[in-house]
Structure 1
Amino acid sequence: MTESRLIYLPLGGAGEIGMNAYVYGVGPEDDERLILVDLGVTFPDMETTPGVDLILPDIDWLAARADRLEAIFITHAHEDHVGAVAHLWSRLKAPVYARAFTAHLARMKMEEAGLDQEVVKTVSAWPETVEAGPFRVGFAPVSHSIPESAGLVIDTPHGRVVHTGDFKLDLTPGVGEPFDEAMWAEIARDGVQALICDSTNVFSEHPGRSESELGPRIEELVAGAPGLVAATTFASNIARLKTLAEAGQRAGRSVVLLGRAMRRMVTAAQDTGIVTDFPKVVPAEEAADIPRQNLMLLTSGSQGERRAATAQLSRGKYLGFELKEGDLFLFSSKTIPGNETSVLRIVNAFSAMGVDVVDDSSGAYHVSGHANRPDLARVHRLLTPKMLIPMHGEHRHLRAHVKLGDEAGIPGAVAPNGTMLDLTGAAPRVVEHIEAGRTYLDGAMQIGAFDGIVRDRIRMALNGHAMVTLILEEDELLGDPWCEIMGLPEKTRNGAPLVDALEAYLSDFLYRADRKTLRDDGKLDDAMRRIVRKAAFDEIGKKPEVTVVISRLT
């Protein structure tokens, strides 16, 4: 009989920041019982994924073994950890476990997708545990930038695994639980086989700061502003929203929440009892009668999302609100790498309006929700695991985190998405590599990253498109071919219509073509495609994508 082993397999979130999905397995090789930790999304951009709504992990490997999947555990309610649950659950059909706040939001997602909310189970914090096949899993509270975040304590026949989720060391987080060093010391007392650890801020050399440090600075900024004040942060950062709202309230301003995501998060925090003293907010429709200098807007869209309230304000009006010269806009957030262009576009638009924009370049108005390098080293010392597996980071983060573990004598492994590790022994060992790509939510459809759809969309965006139509009766041309173009200049270098030039090249070829060629749709398609691309390149310097439509009358 094959010996049992403990495996770890990231399907998302390792080698990138976002789209978290981590598989653990216990049992004989190729017959392990499995659990999944987190099922999140990442977000598209116009350069690499135009038209895509969301990016989901590729769960083909796991879906093929869904009969061995015991449960899904969600560490917290950020979209990159819970956002794909409703999109992918029907392929896995395993119970979903989360703490109350996260479970509340997960049920809302399931309901919106027309799925059974009852598959989402609410779990209390450690020391309560959930039995899932050979696993026993507990939710140990950690501080982060969203309420009720948890690291997972995963007990297996091969030892205890600690999966940190996203965390920071904050003793006064404002909303949510503080970091409890005594609890984690007790968790580590009998030994930790493997620590699977957040790596996001491994390059930040100074210890992380507390959320509670921000209040006085934000209050000073808001109190000194002469006009309307608006501020944005992550909609899920309830503690920051509360800090901002309290600053506005103390400055004598009425607070207005703008953006569906922001209102939804605050409501969820109140419904689940996470927050009971959030400052009173004024509905947008009632704020019209309040003098501008007495208003503070809290807006969604800190990452430059085009349809969010912040971006819409930068383009003019939103729900009757308009920013003017002398107003103040605060970005109480960090720009996620990849979103810089979108955020700068908004900053410049506000600047053109005469709005004073304050960002986090000074570090005075935002603190990270992730542990910095000294904090990670402190956790290594506290838990003293046999081995360290960095996750939640780009490849450079994972590699730097392994080196940090090496300094403490903890063996580690860089395991990007698709890398299966055996955690059973004294050090991690790579045992398999699987395909771990991406799935695109494109409208109502889920498409594979290698299906070619997005690739073709990018090619059309880069090169333009020409459609050629030809009508024949057997091997006789019925008129000249004609072209339609999209995303291409209408004129050639010489000022002649591009369509005329393309049609002339095609007509010249067709009237010289022999009957054998005219009878073969495949040869005609290939030849006309090549002619249009070459002709367009000669005339305008571009090789467009070409669609050929051949109609034959019978």
Structure 2
Amino acid sequence: MEVEIATIGGYEEVGRQMTAVRAGDDIVIFDMGLNLSKVLIHDNVETERMHSLDLIDMGAIPDDRVMSELEGDVKAIVPTHGHLDHIGAISKLAHRYDAPVVATPYTIELVKQEIKGEEKFGVQNDLVKMEAGGTMSIGDKNELEFVNVTHSVIDAINPVLHTPEGSVVYGLDKRMDHTPVLGDPIDMKRFREIGREGEGVLCYIEDCTNAGRKGRTPSESVARRHLKDVMTSIEDYDGGIVATTFSSHIARVKSLVEFADEIGRQPVLLGRSMEKYSGTAERLDFVDFPDDLGMYGHRKSVDRTFKRIMNDGKENFLPIVTGHQGEPRAMLTRMGRGETPYELEDGDKVLFSARVIPEPSNEGQRYQSEQLLKMQGARLYDDIHVSGHLREEGHYQMLQALQPQNVIPGHQSMSGFAPYVSLAESQGYKLGRDLHATSNGNRITLVE
């Protein structure tokens, strides 16, 4: 059976992930993502009203023209998890393919919301839920499997396409967390089994985000302890405390909500994406929040809440807000610019339970946001966080578990591939032979 990989998006940057695997006449697309930084550098861009061709020209979504060169039929579109760099282009591109979107329940719900907000295209693809550990047939000879992984969003998986020539494991995005705050640990047992079943692993496509960092990525339980230590240390402060984190990081939001209560403050979630991700997780029973936890996304509702906080006393509340990357229209950025009823004062604490995504526009926006907050006298607590991506030792463990015949680094720029290429070469792989560093729009033939 012929097997080839089309590397469509996310092989020259962090963002707009999209990869297609053709096995015989069957094609599976993994991820259809958005590069948010390409959108944020433009003022007041509303992607839901834009044509896909304009977004492709901006570099915001994958250029999927290479798909016309693949001889076969798309049988499934499979997003690995609910981050926008993996699902944000589904509403713009999925309607071109007569195939269902297959994902875990939480991811499907987020995809459904993306499609509902789309104003340019009518996306009629079936949305099919499959749990981690589940399988489905792809044509007559191939099978799709979901393996549970841990990441900075709940209900994440690594999909595996089993073919007669061996398995293709799509390894974006994960860390090895054996003590997660929410959900099940990463299923390393299943990865080891896949590495030794049948023809083994024909190809492993790997996320290289932290490949140059030594050691292993700590568990989310480590971030939870760090966060508790910080919040306990400022428990006696009688002014304003504000926290920000990734809206999609439900485990972290859960910890912030619980520790707010422990230090005698009422938590409240503010911002559209904060309301969307946490509200969806609670509705699907992935997390159990207090009954009286307020979640407000609409601008007027947020401002009313800020007024209530100012009237009742900032010392009684913990606003958990959007804006950890300094996004121009997010809550924390507006607070820094003095555009909300919440008044920051000298000595107020702002907790960043997130790391800056290492991309120039993000770093610039975050720097500007921090300066605005400092000008108002805020004290910043930075990097109360652990990454959602593997470091060196995790990568070694995955290669050992899967023993893949071919490796394709992804989820990075060309310079970002370098540490992973060195790591893979130390394990016996050779660039140009079985280690394939590639760019967007390319095809790699594994079996002719």
Q: Which amino acid aligns with 2:318?
A: M
Query: Aligned runs of 1:491-510 on 2, under 5 Å?
Result: none
The alpha-carbon deviation at position 169 of structure 1 amounts to 0.5
Find the counterpart in structure 1 of residue 353 from structure 2: 332
- Secondary structure of 1:193's counterpart equals strand
The alpha-carbon deviation at position 145 of structure 1 amounts to 0.2
Which residue of 61, 65, 87 maps to 1:82?
87
Query: Aligned runs of 1:139-150 on 2, under 5 Å?
Result: 139-150=146-157
Do 2:91 and 2:123's aligned partners in 1 also have CA atoms closer than 8 Å? no
Structure 1 residues 174 and 180: CA distance shift in structure 2, 3 A: same
- For residues 315-372 of structure 1, the C-alpha deviation after alignment (integer angstroms, 9 at most, x for no partner) is 1143x32222221001111111221111111111111111111212xxxx10000000
The alpha-carbon deviation at position 66 of structure 1 amounts to 9.7
Find the counterpart in structure 1 of residue 224 from structure 2: 215
Q: Greater CA deviation, 79-88 or 332-341?
A: 332-341
Find the counterpart in structure 1 of residue 424 from structure 2: 405
- Secondary structure of 1:110's counterpart equals helix
Structure 1 residues 186 and 127: CA distance shift in structure 2, 3 A: farther
Query: Aligned runs of 1:149-228 on 2, under 5 Å?
Result: 149-190=156-197, 191-225=200-234, 226=237, 227-228=239-240
Q: Which amino acid aligns with 1:420?
A: R
CA distance in 1, matches of 2:6, 2:444: 6
Q: Greater CA deviation, 256-265 or 107-116?
A: 107-116
The alpha-carbon deviation at position 178 of structure 1 amounts to 1.2
- For residues 13-71 of structure 1, the C-alpha deviation after alignment (integer angstroms, 9 at most, x for no partner) is 112111000011123xxxx4322100000024589766655511111232676972222
Find the counterpart in structure 1 of residue 445 from structure 2: 422
Note the aligned Cα RMSD (angstroms).
Answer: 2.2
Find the counterpart in structure 2 of residue 102 from structure 1: 107
Q: Which amino acid aligns with 1:131?
A: I
Find the counterpart in structure 2 of residue 304 from structure 1: 326
Gaps spanning 5+ residues in structure 2: where? 48-59, 296-301
Do 2:40 and 2:327's aligned partners in 1 also have CA atoms closer than 8 Å? no
Query: Aligned runs of 1:338-353 on 2, under 5 Å?
Result: 338=360, 339-353=362-376
CA distance in 1, matches of 2:205, 2:292: 40
- Secondary structure of 1:322's counterpart equals coil
Structure 1 residues 278 and 399: CA distance shift in structure 2, 3 A: farther
Do 2:22 and 2:72's aligned partners in 1 also have CA atoms closer than 8 Å? no
CA distance in 1, matches of 2:338, 2:181: 34
The alpha-carbon deviation at position 257 of structure 1 amounts to 0.7
Considering only CA atoms, is the larger Rg found in Structure 1 or Structure 2? 1
Which residue of 258, 263, 272 maps to 2:275?
263
Q: Give yes or no for the alignment of 1:385 onto 2:414.
A: no
Do 1:33 and 1:69's aligned partners in 2 also have CA atoms closer than 8 Å? yes
Find the counterpart in structure 1 of residue 253 from structure 2: 241
Q: Greater CA deviation, 39-48 or 338-347?
A: 39-48
Q: Greater CA deviation, 181-190 or 236-245?
A: 181-190
Structure 1 residues 413 and 248: CA distance shift in structure 2, 3 A: same
Q: Give yes or no for the alignment of 1:122 onto 2:110.
A: no
CA distance in 1, matches of 2:255, 2:16: 28
Do 2:22 and 2:70's aligned partners in 1 also have CA atoms closer than 8 Å? no
Do 2:95 and 2:124's aligned partners in 1 also have CA atoms closer than 8 Å? no
Do 1:17 and 1:394's aligned partners in 2 also have CA atoms closer than 8 Å? yes
Do 2:27 and 2:72's aligned partners in 1 also have CA atoms closer than 8 Å? no
- For residues 521-541 of structure 1, the C-alpha deviation after alignment (integer angstroms, 9 at most, x for no partner) is xxxxxxxxxxxxxxxxxxxxx
Find the counterpart in structure 1 of residue 390 from structure 2: 371
- Secondary structure of 2:447's counterpart equals coil
Q: Which amino acid aligns with 1:6?
A: V
The alpha-carbon deviation at position 130 of structure 1 amounts to 4.1
Q: Which amino acid aligns with 1:323?
A: L
Which residue of 91, 100, 117 maps to 1:112?
117
Find the counterpart in structure 2 of residue 40 from structure 1: 33
Q: Which amino acid aligns with 2:9?
A: G
RCO (CA 8 Å, sep 6+): is it higher in 1 or 2? Answer: 2
CA distance in 1, matches of 2:124, 2:245: 29
- For residues 209-262 of structure 1, the C-alpha deviation after alignment (integer angstroms, 9 at most, x for no partner) is 111112233223223331211111111111111112222111110001110101
Please report the TM-score for the alignment, with normalisation by the length of structure 1: 0.71
Gaps spanning 5+ residues in structure 1: where? 426-554
Do 2:66 and 2:441's aligned partners in 1 also have CA atoms closer than 8 Å? no
Which residue of 5, 18, 21 maps to 1:8?
5
Do 1:389 and 1:402's aligned partners in 2 also have CA atoms closer than 8 Å? no
Structure 1 residues 224 and 8: CA distance shift in structure 2, 3 A: same
- Secondary structure of 1:41's counterpart equals coil
- Secondary structure of 1:401's counterpart equals helix
Do 2:11 and 2:440's aligned partners in 1 also have CA atoms closer than 8 Å? yes
- For residues 413-454 of structure 1, the C-alpha deviation after alignment (integer angstroms, 9 at most, x for no partner) is 1012122111228xxxxxxxxxxxxxxxxxxxxxxxxxxxxx
CA distance in 1, matches of 2:42, 2:313: 43
Structure 1 residues 250 and 47: CA distance shift in structure 2, 3 A: closer
CA distance in 1, matches of 2:372, 2:83: 29
Structure 1 residues 26 and 118: CA distance shift in structure 2, 3 A: closer
The alpha-carbon deviation at position 396 of structure 1 amounts to 2.1
Do 2:81 and 2:87's aligned partners in 1 also have CA atoms closer than 8 Å? yes
Structure 1 residues 130 and 332: CA distance shift in structure 2, 3 A: farther
